[in-house]
Amino acid sequence: MKDQNLSRESDFSTTCLSMVRIPRRPSAQEGCQSRTTGGRMDPRYEAFTIADSTWYEPLDRCDDLSSRFSLATREIPDGWSRDHQGVWEFLSPDDTTVLPEQGWKIHVSATPATAEETIEASWKICRRLALPWKFLRSRHIVSAMNTKYANRATSGKTVTVYPRTADELRLALAELDGELHGRPGPYVLSDHRWNQGPVSVRYGAFTLLWCELPDGTRVPALRGPEGRLEPDHRRPFFTTPEWADVPDFLKQRLSSGGGGHGEGTLDGYRVRKALHFSNAGGIYLAEDARGRNVVLKEARPHAGLDAQGRDAVERLRNEESMLKHLAHLPFVPRMYRAFSAWEHHYLAMEYVEGETINAWLGREYPLTRHRPTAEARAEFAALAVRRMERVEECVAAIHETGVAFGDLHHRNILVRPDGTVTLIDFELAMPLDSVRTAALGAPGFTDPTIADPRDADLYALGCCQLAALVPLTVLTHRNPAAVSSLIEQATAAFPSLPPGFVRRMLGRLALSPALRPFLPGADGTALAILPAPSVSALLHGIDRAAAPHRTDRLFPGDVSGHRPGTSLGLAYGTPGVLLAQRAAGTAPSDEHVDWLVSAARRAPVDGPKGLYDGLAGTAWMLHKLGHPAAADLVDRLLTAPLPTSPSLFGGLTGIAHLLLDVGLKDEGTGLAARVRERMGEQGVLDRPGLMHGWSGPSVLFARCAMSTGDVAWAEAAEQAVRHDLRHARELDGMLQMHSSNRLLPYLAEGSGGVALAAMALPAAQAASIGSDALVVGALRAGAVQVVVQGGLFNGRSGLAYVLSHALVRLPDWRGELEAHLRALALHLAPFDGAQVLHGDQLVRLSTDLATGSAGAIIALKAAQTPGSRLLPGVHPTHG
């Protein structure tokens, strides 16, 4: 099995993001995390898809009024105060002094069915003991926080209690355990369970503090014994900082262990490695007593809930039943036995040699290479057809037994070394005569309106066939008309496809009522033509999406824009959208500028300060608008602690550009000197590209060289590019950067950004580094037919921006630029009579600069005037 596991493979969707054929099989370290096309969404995004069907929104904005717990809505007694904290209701005694920054806190878990009773019991105890505490506000939220791909480290927590002293901790644990002992609730993986639960304990932050990692990422923090902030690691297993003060009564409990099965063995199976984790449990490669490789699939009780409220154990039992029913079929893994260890449930199954369709596509898909030959495309198409026809046979055989598979997508199809296929993951299988409900499903392979299990399988099969040729079926969910373009691209790129194969694929796709009107007619002509990308339509979409009544954000964007303070940065916040409007010749509205000024005044002192992630982005935008508040914000930045990271995105490089732009040359050059001193530090800016690598500082150094005439700055600019080039990988003339366990060609992270830095070098340094060849290699990596995401930072818009800038010196690449701009139509979705770009992960829309419509506008405007310098910090001077 190259992977029966669902995460170890080189996943296809991210290989489309990587756009390179790796010259050998990717190792586990080079495999990439799933984006949307391979059947699993980045788990960071799931919580932001629950509250709204169009935008990424925080969970607290969901409509859960009908399931609110009584305590969330009724009056609380005198002497107590209530504070709404997102999805949490915080209750504290009025005479409570300020909470400690950190300490031992108590968590109580519950199921959706038991949560109300658990909250009331906890309230009774906390009220009597006068303890500050909080609880989730509704049954809907309890369910959402415990879904299959919810955060494993925090899932299950329904109540949190904040004892302020060791005595309060001991008393609260005893009383809560005495009242709630043994009640059902998920095991909180980050905690030490108290007796049999659902009470647990963990050392952590009481108030939200932030610190920087070496790469500049801001993470929640604890204060160490010397007063320095350090990461508050919230891992899916119990840990305690070495310096934490552990009360004596707790030391005895912690030293006795407990709270999980032992490492290394499970009921006689020797575990060799963990293959995949979700909140539902893990998948492990193990060895039985006979030395035979087996796969162990784990299910956690009360965890990993689906839309029907079923937990992982219920689905595992269903899989056990289905594997027994289908045991006579050669493409179904054999089930050896079911067992329990500690309180978790397991299936021991056959380990199947081979690789997933997803992994195979990630290695062999030709449209992520620059100008693949007709022979390469025909060879790939023939093999894709053979493999999909074998999947057809498997689905037909399963249906003959009266069962529907229920979860068909590329990650659940294994190809054995002999070319035969095996299906894995039968937890959603069901009888054909049942009614299908959309409990779980892979984006791009399901239609929730199809209730017949047989038809749902056949539709998923059609999606598998199309996604093997063009891996963007997820885009049809919000824009069904896109299916015409996908089919047209597939048949044009692979003209050798057998007509019968295409006909069967279309018939299965037609099972979706949404897609049916947009499928090609009998004469083979498409019924729908996607509208071309339009700056005016994108501007209209941004305007229609604005929400000036909100204080958390003005324009909808990526999930990163919901982190505190990021609405002030260029990447995910309001300034980036205003930048795009100005680039398009549209003056931002006074209302929106006023919103930004007010948001900056409310910004917390410890918020992000960077150009693209925080306050410097707002200062830069207001300066460009000639707003008087800009000067005050610059003063705030100069008098506050600055970031330690030297990056362009959130660090000193971006702030130095701001200072130079507002005329503070000495201060800006001084920051640049501090950045230069950091070159060569281990673990600093090791994500090559403009935003998180040394290419961003290289552009700053080139700017300093232009303004000072000092050759030392020019030499530093060259050295910085060389630091990023340590991560370079070349294949068939394509140059990419190995970063974040992927090979990337993008602007923010990847060879596109390095190419922009190389183009910014002074002539002597550009010649020394071979800038022309570097740029051509990066353009080759980016000039491909299939790109999964459309955004500026890590998608098609950014690749177009790099090409636009390169056209000044390489005019022969205009055809590739125009192809990207035409293909950008596929990434757009209709919204309120306008256009909006699909955001990262493709399951919601975005208007921000990094991932959404604002970035697409920048790409379109840059293409109109090649060489335009529209992005601050990306060029030695700003246009």
The 3-state secondary structure of 281-319, one letter per residue: EEEEEEECCCCCEEEEEEECCCCCECCCCCCHHHHHHHH
Across 306-396, where does the E strand assignment appear?
A: 335-341, 344-350, 355-356
- End-of-domain residue from the set 350, 382, 413: 350
Instruction: Give pLDDT tens digits for 581-619.
Output: 999 999 999 999 999 999 999 998 889 999 999 999 999
Give the distance from CA 644 to its chain's centroid: 25
How many Å apart are CA 155 and CA 165, to the nearest integer? 26
- Do the bridges between strand 281-287 and strand 192-193 make them parallel or antiparallel, or are there none, so unpaired? unpaired
Residue type, 591: E
- Phi, psi at 356, each rounded to 5°: -70, 160
- For residues 367 and 460, state if they share a domain: yes
CATH code: domain of residue 82: 3.30.2430
Q: Does one domain contain both 623 and 602?
A: yes
- Count of CB atoms situated within 10 Å of the CB of 374: 11
Query: What is the C-alpha to C-alpha distance for residues 649 and 573, in angstroms, rounded to an integer?
Result: 13
Per-residue pLDDT tens for 59-110?
Answer: 999 999 999 999 999 999 999 999 999 999 999 999 877 789 999 999 999 9
Indicate the average pLDDT of the chain: 91
pLDDT at 266: 84
Q: Pairing between strand 229-231 and 218-223?
A: antiparallel
Tokens of 831: 């919204």
Element (H, E) at 104: strand 102-109
Kindly state whether residues 563 and 504 are assigned to the same domain.
Answer: no
* CA-to-CA separations, 326 to 283, 388, 431, 450, 637, in angstroms, rounded: 21, 21, 12, 24, 65
The sign of the dihedral angle between the CA atoms of 372, 841, 309, 508 is negative
Q: Residue 441: which pLDDT band, with cuts at 50, 70 and 90?
A: confident
Same domain, 269 and 373: no
How many residues does this entry show for the chain?
Answer: 879
pLDDT of 38 reads: 45
Give the tokens for residue 203: 């050392």
Q: What is the DSSP letter of 138?
A: B
Residue 339 shares a structural domain with residue 410: no
Going through 765-812 in order, the beta strands assigned E by DSSP cover none
Domain assignment present for 524: no
- Is 98 inside any structural domain? yes
The reply to whether 275 falls in a domain is yes
Considering only CA atoms, which of 671, 611, 601, 683 is closest in space to residue 636?
601
Q: Does 646 map to a domain?
A: no
- Quote the DSSP letter at residue 190: T
Q: Say whether pLDDT at 43 is over 80.
A: no
Distance, CA of 89 to CA of 159 (rounded, Å): 10
Number of domains in the chain: 4
Determine, yes or no, domain membership for 672.
no
In percent, the amount of the chain with pLDDT more than 70 equals 93
CA 13 centroid distance within chain: 12
DSSP conformational letter for 429: -
pLDDT score of 525:
55
Closest residue by Cα to residue 316 from 342, 282, 289, 285:
282
166, containing H or E segment: helix 166-180
pLDDT at 264 (0 to 100): 66
How far apart are the C-alpha atoms of 105 and 446, rounded to whole Å? 42
Q: What is the phi/psi pair of residue 562, to 5°?
A: -95, 0
Residue 775 neighbours by CB distance under 10 Å: 25
Judge if 97 and 238 occupy the same domain: yes
User: Same domain for 166 and 206?
Assistant: yes
How many angstroms separate the first and last alpha carbons of the chain? 53
Domain check: are 140 and 180 in the same one?
Answer: yes
One-character DSSP codes across 814-832: HHHHHHHHHHGGGGEEEET
Give yes or no for a contact between 225 and 243, defined as CB atoms under 8 angstroms apart.
Answer: yes
Strand-strand pairing, 281-287 and 269-278: antiparallel
Q: Are 148 and 304 in contact (CB under 8 A)?
A: yes
Residue 249 is encoded by which pair of tokens?
């009564």
Calculate the dihedral angle through the C-alpha atoms of 33, 36, 38, 39, rounding to the nearest 10 degrees: 110
Two tokens, residue 601: 């005044």
Q: What is the maximal distance between C-alpha atoms in the chain?
A: 80
- 454 or 251: which leads in pLDDT: 454
Whole-angstrom Cα distance, residue 689 to residue 745? 9
CATH number at residue 463: 1.10.510.10
Does residue 189 share a domain with residue 99? yes
Rounded to whole angstroms, the Cα distance separating 262 from 542 reads 53
Contact residues for 114 (Cβ-Cβ < 8 A; gap 6+): 183, 184, 185
Q: Which structural domain range is residue 418 located in?
A: 356-477+480-518
Q: DSSP label at 562? A: G
Residue 412 resides in a domain: yes
The predicted structure's pLDDT at residue 139: 96
Are both 243 and 316 inside the same structural domain?
A: no
Inform me whether the pLDDT recorded for 245 exceeds 60: yes
361 and 346 share a domain? no
CA torsion angle for 297, 303, 306, 309 (degrees, to 10)?
Answer: 130
Percentage of the chain modeled with pLDDT above 90: 80
Please say which residue of 493, 518, 543 terminates a domain: 518
Does an H or E element contain 838, and which? strand 834-838
Alpha-carbon distance of 654 to 700, in angstroms, equals 9
Q: Taken in order 711, 668, 616, 592, is the CA torsion positive or negative?
A: negative
527 band by pLDDT with thresholds 50, 70 and 90: low
- In a domain? residue 199: yes
Element (H, E) at 108: strand 102-109
pLDDT in tens, 644-681: 999 999 999 999 999 999 999 999 999 999 999 999 89
What integer pLDDT is reported at residue 855 of this predicted model?
Answer: 98
Position 17 pLDDT exceeds 70: no
Say yes or no: 631 and 539 in one domain.
Answer: yes
Per-residue pLDDT of 776-798, as tens digits, reads: 999 999 999 999 999 999 999 99
Residues 6+ apart with CB under 8 A from 504: 392, 462, 465
What is the predicted pLDDT for the residue at 214? 78
Please state, as a whole number, how many other Cβ atoms lie within 10 Å of the Cβ of residue 645: 26
Predicted local distance difference test score (pLDDT) of residue 34 = 31
**Span 353-380, average pLDDT:** 95
Does 198 sit behind a cis peptide bond, omega within 30 degrees of 0 on the bond before it?
yes
β pairing state of 199-205 and 192-193: antiparallel
What gap in Å lies between CA 681 and CA 404, rounded to an integer? Answer: 55
Does residue 210 fall inside a structural domain? yes
Q: Which residues contact 31 (CB under 8 A, 6 or more apart)?
A: 7, 8, 9, 10, 11, 359, 741
Point out the least confidently predicted range of 32-41, 171-180, 324-333.
32-41
Contact 206, 100 (CB under 8 A): yes
Bridge partners (DSSP) of residue 90 are: 83, 134
pLDDT for 457 equals 97
Contact indicator for 707, 656 with CB cutoff of 8 Å: no
Give the side-chain half-sphere CA count within 13 A for 695: 30
Q: What is the CATH number of the domain that holds 290?
A: 3.30.200.20
Q: pLDDT at position 10, please? A: 30
